[in-house]
Amino acid sequence: MSGQVHDLFVIGGGINGCGIARDAVGRGYSVALAEMNDFASGTSSGATKLIHGGLRYLEHYEFRLVRESLMEREILWAMAPHIIWPMRFVLPYHKGGIRPAWLIRLGLFLYDHLGGRKLLPPTRVLDMRRDPAGKPLKSLFSKAFEYSDGWVDDARMVVLNARDAADKGALIMPRTKVVSARRENGVWAIESVDTVTGETRHFQARMLVNAAGPWVDHVIRAAFGQNEARHVRLVQGSHIVVKKKFSDPRAYFFQNPDNRIIFAIPYEQDFTLIGTTDRDYKADPRDVKISDEETTYLCKAASEYFNEPVRPEDIVWTYSAVRPLFDDGASKAQEATRDYVLKLEGEGAQAPLLNVFGGKLTTYRRLSEHALEKIGAAIGIKGIPWTAKSHLPGGDFPATGYEAEVRKLKSGYPFLAETHVRRLVRRYGTKAAVLLGQARGIEDLGRLFGSDLYEAEVRYLIEHEWATHADDVLWRRTKEGLRLTREQAAMLEEYMAAVPARIAV
Ligand SMILES: Cc1cc2nc3c(=O)[nH]c(=O)nc-3n(C[C@H](O)[C@H](O)[C@H](O)COP(=O)(O)OP(=O)(O)OC[C@H]3O[C@@H](n4cnc5c(N)ncnc54)[C@H](O)[C@@H]3O)c2cc1C
């Protein structure tokens, strides 16, 4: 034990834990955060990756959540224009369809006018017989609505929050599992285990934040011994990735006969992402994976719309995650609230605990601000809200400035292929130049692992973003896993195991 008493100790390195840690350290609190695996290795890398108001939630009267989410779209876009960008969604419909046109029109009217939309274009109606968006779809869908939302690289948003928190002085510890937390003499005594070395460490903190996502009840039960804790409803959602089904940059919003919806989204240049499902989940969140039934469901639902059916053999990758939804007693998984709930236990002298239930990627910044209000009330206010006008690392350029950044990087590094430059700006924004450093030719980027993944990028991820395994690089810091072969991934793992340099904090 160092003897230091932190103001806050955060359990969980998903979007909510990292968002709270960043906000808190930026206000002047001393903060430590423990993540038992890699950042975003839980739910926060398994989302549909939309920064969205949640059109569907209007049907469940979640107006507070939809309004807050709509307001956040442009704030987050301006905060991180490298990893977040606007996307148009095409919602095809036909007479006698699942929902009447007037209802969709009303929903989209609210969506456009509930607030926060300044740069994003409004809804319009498409004639699908003429519009290119109609081309890959069955001719039954002669009309569509087109509306705005946003896209985010979910796992990168998490690690950039962690990075910024560390840059501002937080103690950020991946691969560190909290195994117990007890109140002792008015502070929390926390015990953690390094999941790589098995080393035990002890910390003290005035306040504890439990942002363990799907494990939030597990932490309450295991760490605090409250055996009856049951606050979250675990709802599995799975996605499939297939070779590009359409070349249009817009995404599709498909309504299914069971009243659910799925998206088909342009993904990583050469692919289409299709998802998601919604079903209650009872097993360990770590073991979640797509079932045959979900695969069939997604293929069938998308094939109702596309001219060319989506077949299981077209699938190149799948991923699955568990939503930690606050259990509001809804009968169906798809109806359980997507809003978040923050529960504070104890006052300053009793060492308070804040449990975080639910939440979305889209609302993480506001959730963090609300958490900071509760933290301030419990252990004393420090600082003021600051994140709305901030930038995540690499995001310090104008919201609409992506093309200008691409041109800038290209002129600094003319030996790079156009696709490579575009990918680097999308992943790293202004930090791409840090990654490339003094390179004057492609050979200066070191060993090529496959696709356009060079040693310089891997080194950057090891030194600046806590990457220690090939999966951290291939599936969370980037999505190069879609392009590397199994042998290339194995070589990357071998290389990473041998690199002694670790995070430069
Ligand atoms: C299928 C699906 C689609 C979604 N789509 C969207 C979308 O399009 N847009 C949107 O806004 N939201 C979406 N969401 C919601 C969003 O992804 C989640 O709400 C969010 O990622 C939850 O983040 P979290 O930080 O609470 O949990 P997590 O990301 O799971 O983080 C919790 C972390 O705590 C760690 N942990 C647990 N126990 C311990 C311990 N004892 N010690 C240390 N660490 C511990 C875990 O390893 C984990 O990394 C989607 C969710 C799903 C499942």
Where residue 309 sits, what CATH number does that domain have? 3.30.9.10
**CA-to-CA distance for 280 and 294, rounded, in angstroms?**
12
Asked if 139 and 238 sit in the same domain, the reply is yes
**HSE-CB of 56 using CA atoms within 13 angstroms:** 17
Asked if 492 and 406 sit in the same domain, the reply is yes
Q: Ligand 1 atom closest to Cα of 275?
A: 1
Tell me, letter by letter, the H, E, C secondary structure of 303-366. HCCECCCCCHHHEEEEEEEEEEEECCCCCCHHHCCCCCEEEEECCHHHCCEEEEECCCCCCHHH
Asked if 221 and 167 sit in the same domain, the reply is yes
Where residue 416 sits, what CATH number does that domain have? 1.10.8.870
| Ligand 1: centre distance to CA 17 (Å) | 9
Q: Hey, which of 9, 41, 43, 209 would you mutate to test ligand 1's pocket, going by the most ligand atoms within 8 Å of its Cβ? A: 43
Domain stops at, among 292, 318, 335: 335
| Ligand 1: centre distance to CA 86 (Å) | 22
Asked if 329 and 239 sit in the same domain, the reply is yes
Residue nearest to atom 35 of ligand 1 (CA): 12
> Measured from the CB, is residue 35 less than 6 Å from ligand 1?
yes
Q: What is the pLDDT along the chain (505 residues), one digit of tens a residue?
A: 567 999 999 999 999 999 999 999 999 999 999 999 999 999 999 999 999 999 888 888 888 999 999 999 999 999 999 999 999 999 998 877 788 889 899 999 999 999 889 999 999 999 999 999 999 999 989 999 999 999 999 999 999 999 999 999 999 999 999 999 999 999 999 999 999 999 999 999 999 999 999 999 999 887 777 776 788 999 999 999 999 999 999 999 999 999 899 999 999 999 999 999 999 999 999 999 999 999 999 999 999 999 999 999 999 999 999 999 998 777 777 777 888 999 998 876 789 999 999 999 999 999 999 999 999 999 999 999 999 999 999 999 999 999 999 999 999 999 999 999 999 999 999 999 999 999 999 999 999 999 999 999 999 999 999 999 999 999 999 999 999 999 999 999 999 999 865 554 4
| Continuous H helices in 322-473 | 364-379, 402-412, 418-428, 432-436, 455-464, 470-471
Q: Hey, which of 360, 362, 363, 366 would you mutate to test ligand 1's pocket, going by the most ligand atoms within 8 Å of its Cβ? A: 360
The answer to whether position 72 is within a domain reads no
Asked if 286 and 239 sit in the same domain, the reply is yes
Asked if 325 and 245 sit in the same domain, the reply is yes
Best CA proximity match to 24, nearest among 347, 366, 371: 371
Q: Hey, which of 56, 361, 370 would you mutate to test ligand 1's pocket, going by the most ligand atoms within 8 Å of its Cβ? A: 361
| Ligand 1: centre distance to CA 24 (Å) | 19
Asked if 249 and 126 sit in the same domain, the reply is yes
> Measured from the CB, is residue 233 less than 6 Å from ligand 1?
no
| Ligand 1: centre distance to CA 41 (Å) | 8
The answer to whether position 52 is within a domain reads no
Range(s) of the domain holding residue 475: 402-498
At 342, phi and psi to the nearest 5? Answer: -110, 120
The answer to whether position 48 is within a domain reads no
| Ligand 1: centre distance to CA 16 (Å) | 8
> Measured from the CB, is residue 323 less than 6 Å from ligand 1?
yes
Per-residue pLDDT at 500: 67
Domain stops at, among 389, 420, 453: 389
Domain count for the chain, please give it: 3
The answer to whether position 469 is within a domain reads yes
Asked if 327 and 291 sit in the same domain, the reply is yes
Asked if 350 and 256 sit in the same domain, the reply is no
Asked if 360 and 219 sit in the same domain, the reply is yes
Q: Ligand 1 atom closest to Cα of 361?
A: 11
The answer to whether position 178 is within a domain reads yes
Residue nearest to atom 4 of ligand 1 (CA): 47
Tell me, letter by letter, the H, E, C secondary structure of 225-252. CCCCCCCEEEEEEEEEEEECCCCCCCEE
Residue nearest to atom 38 of ligand 1 (CA): 212
Asked if 361 and 320 sit in the same domain, the reply is no
| Ligand 1: centre distance to CA 45 (Å) | 7
Structure tokens at 457: 């990028």
Where residue 204 sits, what CATH number does that domain have? 3.50.50.60
| Ligand 1: centre distance to CA 43 (Å) | 3
Residue nearest to atom 15 of ligand 1 (CA): 360
The answer to whether position 35 is within a domain reads yes
Residue in this structure with the two tokens 């840690």, named with its chain if needed: 21
> Measured from the CB, is residue 75 less than 6 Å from ligand 1?
no
Q: Is 56 left (phi over 0), alpha (psi -120 to 50) or beta?
A: alpha
Helix (H) or strand (E) holding 176: strand 176-184
Asked if 472 and 447 sit in the same domain, the reply is yes
The answer to whether position 27 is within a domain reads yes
The answer to whether position 354 is within a domain reads yes
Per-residue pLDDT at 40: 98
